[in-house]
Amino acid sequence: MKEIYSPIVTMKPKHIQSVVQTHLVSFPGFFLSFLGSRFLMLYYEGICEAPEGIGLVYLNASGGAAGFVAGSSNPRGFYSRLLKKDWLKFAFASIGAIIRKPTVITRVARGLIHPGGNPLGDDVAGLFSIGVLPELQGTGAGKKLVLAFFQEALNRGCKRLFLTTDRDENDAVNAFYQKLGFSIERQYETPEGRRMNEYWIDLDNKDTPNA
Ligand SMILES: CC(C)(COP(=O)(O)OP(=O)(O)OC[C@H]1O[C@@H](n2cnc3c(N)ncnc32)[C@H](O)[C@@H]1OP(=O)(O)O)[C@@H](O)C(=O)NCCC(=O)NCCS
């Protein structure tokens, strides 16, 4: 039987470089982008290596990433475990950013010493990051990535999924998640003063769209 082509595959080390490039162009000016490409490489390598990491890539014609989504089937303490495991590499990778803006160190340290930042639960998954190349945005790639993420989280026994995104000047992204069926369950402000929406969706609800 002929294999059906799907542009979405599991994120592998060979995709990381193009995932990082896609991250940098889809999140200009965001914190992780400010930390630089070396830091992002370690971050996405960590997602690929961790048993609870979920990384998916939307491929372009040459097999690189035109989009990606990353998260975890065990979000509580994920960042802290990731940073602790490779703390020296993360420290070296962030030196440039720390020199440019010394206050970033407090935010990185918070991820390290505040393991309880993400919601707790055996059946909870977290979607941490999604990005699609600007030229592909609005073509359905983001939706396909989220639906594939739902399926992967369900396969791992997760029943609910959460994510956070900026509340202000972020109407397109908020509309995107609401259209996919997410609802806001909490709003809060980060120590840096960013107002955030925390979205949740029930993965096993019959009204939740599937891949
Ligand atoms: C957010 C993002 C991943 C969405 O991916 P995308 O490929 O552009 O979105 P899609 O084309 O799959 O759109 C899916 C649905 O959301 C809707 N949508 C997307 N942008 C929208 C907007 N600005 N306003 C209203 N609805 C919108 C689409 O109409 C579509 O609905 P449909 O299924 O009924 O047609 C992408 O725009 C992106 O990478 N943005 C920059 C990075 C970012 O901000 N990531 C999120 C951080 S939390």
Options 3.40.50.1220, 3.20.20.80, 3.40.50.720, 3.40.630.30; CATH for 8-202 is: 3.40.630.30
What is the model's pLDDT at position 198?
Answer: 96
pLDDT digits 0-9 by tens, 12-65: 999 999 999 999 999 998 888 999 999 999 999 999 999 999 999 999 988 899
- Indicate the range of 64-68, 93-97, 143-147, 158-162 predicted with least confidence: 93-97
Q: What is the pLDDT of residue 1?
A: 59
Winning range, highest mean pLDDT, from 41-55, 78-92, 117-131, 197-211: 41-55
Q: State the pLDDT at residue 112.
A: 61
CA distance 197 to 50: 27
Supply the pLDDT for residue 21: 97
172 lines ligand 1 (CB under 6 A): yes
CA atoms of 21 and 41, how far apart (whole Å): 10
Q: Is any ligand 1 atom within 6 A of the Cβ of residue 139?
A: yes
- Tell me the percentage of the chain whose pLDDT exceeds 70: 93
- List pLDDT tens digits, range 110-124: 766 554 567 777 799
Specify the pLDDT at position 200: 97
Testing ligand 1's pocket by substitution, the residue of 143, 144, 163, 177 carrying the most ligand atoms inside 8 A of its CB is: 143
Q: How confident is the model at residue 3 (pLDDT cuts 50, 70, 90)?
A: low
What does residue 202 show for φ and ψ, rounded to 5 degrees?
-85, 120
- Domain range list for the chain: 8-202
Average pLDDT over residues 149-157: 96
Among the atoms of ligand 1, which is closest to the Cα of residue 170? Answer: 44
Q: What is the mean pLDDT of the chain?
A: 90
Site to probe by mutation for ligand 1, drawn from 25, 58, 128, 176 as the one with most ligand atoms within 8 Å of Cβ, is: 176
CB of 143 closer than 6 A to ligand 1?
A: yes
Average pLDDT over residues 59-84: 90
Instruction: Flag the least confident range among 63-67, 114-118, 160-164, 179-183.
Output: 114-118
Average of per-residue pLDDT across 199-210: 89
What is the per-residue pLDDT for 172? 96
Of the two residues 103 and 23, the one the predictor is more confident about is 23
For position 114, what pLDDT does the model report? 57
